[in-house]
Amino acid sequence: MRVVIAGVAGVGKSTVLEIVAKRSKYEIVNFGTLMFEMAKDIGLVSNRDEIRKLPVDTQINLQKKASSAIGRMDDVIVDTHMSIKSKNGYLPGLPEWVLRELKIASYFLIEADPVLIKRRREMDPTRSRDDDTVEEIRTHQEVNRYFAVAYSIYTGATVNFIENPEGKPNIAAENILSKLV
C-alpha cells in the first residue's frame, strides 16, 4: 500500500514520520529528495533548490520519473506537499500525472494550530522558512485540505486529517498507525 503524508512547514511532520517509520513496516520516501537524486544523477542539478529553476517540461519529466519509481514500491509513505505556495498562487503538489503513477490508497494531512506552527518556524534556526502570518498559515492548511479532497475524488483514496498537538507527536503518529494496514 502507498500513502501520502503531508503538512505545511513547521507542522511537525518530520517528527511524526520518524515515529511512524520506527513503529511500522512502511518505508518513508521523500518525493522531492527522490526527484533531486534523479536530477543529480543525470547532471541536471547540484543542489535541490536548482530543481525549481529547471524548465517546466524538465520538472514534469522528473515528477513522472519519480512517481513511476514510487508507484512500483510496496508499503511506502510518500512525504510530499498537498499544495505548494508560490508567488503566483497555490500549485498542486500531486498533479494528475503523478497521481496516476502513485496509485495512492490514503492521504494523511498533518495539521496544527497556526499560532503554534508560526512559533515553531520562528524557533527553528536550521531552516530558512517563509515569514508567513498566522492567517497565511491557516489559509495554506485550508488549501491543503481542498487539494487532498480533490485528489481523493480522482483516486478514490481516503483522506485523513491528523492533529499534531504541541509536545505530543506520539498522538499524531498513533492516529496514522491505526489507519495503516
Q: What is the pLDDT along the chain (181 residues), one digit of tens a residue?
A: 999 999 999 999 999 999 999 999 999 999 999 999 999 999 999 988 788 788 888 989 999 999 999 999 999 999 999 998 888 889 899 999 999 999 999 999 999 999 999 998 888 776 666 689 999 999 999 999 999 999 999 999 999 999 999 999 999 999 999 999 6
Tell whether 117 is covered by a domain: yes
Tell whether 78 is in a known binding site: no
Tell whether 65 is covered by a domain: no
Tell whether 46 is in a known binding site: no
Tell whether 16 is in a known binding site: no
Tell whether 11 is in a known binding site: yes
Tell whether 116 is covered by a domain: yes
Whether the CA torsion 113, 116, 121, 124 is positive or negative: it is negative
Tell whether 12 is in a known binding site: yes
Tell whether 29 is in a known binding site: no
Tell whether 58 is in a known binding site: no
Tell whether 128 is in a known binding site: no
Tell whether 9 is in a known binding site: yes
Inter-residue contact 67 to 102 (CB < 8 Å): yes
**CATH number of the domain where residue 111 is located:** 3.40.50.300
Task: Give the chain's domain count.
Answer: 1
Tell whether 34 is covered by a domain: no
Tell whether 47 is covered by a domain: no
Tell whether 54 is covered by a domain: no
Domain range spanning residue 165?
Answer: 2-29+75-177
Tell whether 70 is covered by a domain: no
Tell whether 60 is covered by a domain: no
